[in-house]
Amino acid sequence: MKAMKARQAKRLARTTLGISLLVVIGAGFSSISNASDRSQPPAAGLSSKYVEVVVAPGESIWSIAALVADKNQIAATVADIVEVNQLATADVSAGAKILVPVN
């Protein structure tokens, strides 16, 4: 009788552990899915005029803007990048994904 109760207790513990792991794994996949949804461009209409760029180490918004804009339009392009990406400042870190206007 005691052996049967011990087996039932072990089975219950394994079942509880298995269900807990499934819940944790499901929550992880859900959070990953939500994170990838937020990485989409802010508005669907912007995707044709902008390209997503990953900032490389040593790059800044100013250096990226200098690559895509005319010499007299760099400041305006920086302002556009800051606005479309909803940045507080023109500072970005390496690895950040930003939208850059395509001329």
Tens of pLDDT along 36-60? Answer: 555 555 555 544 588 999 999 999 9
Average pLDDT estimate for 63-81? 91
Average pLDDT estimate for 19-23? 78
Q: Are 49 and 101 in contact (CB under 8 A)?
A: yes
Per the structure, the complete domain to which residue 65 belongs is given by 44-101
Write down the pTM of the prediction.
0.53
Residues 95 and 49 in one domain: yes
- Report the SS3 class of residue 98: strand
Tens of pLDDT along 86-101? Answer: 999 888 999 999 999 9
82 pLDDT more than 90: yes
Residues 22 and 1 in one domain: yes
Mean pLDDT of the chain: 80
The larger pLDDT score, comparing residue 72 to residue 48, is at: 72
Residues 17 and 64 in one domain: no
Whole-number pLDDT of residue 29: 66
Residues 60 and 77 in one domain: yes
What does the alpha-carbon distance between residue 25 and residue 21 come to, in Å, rounded to a whole number?
6
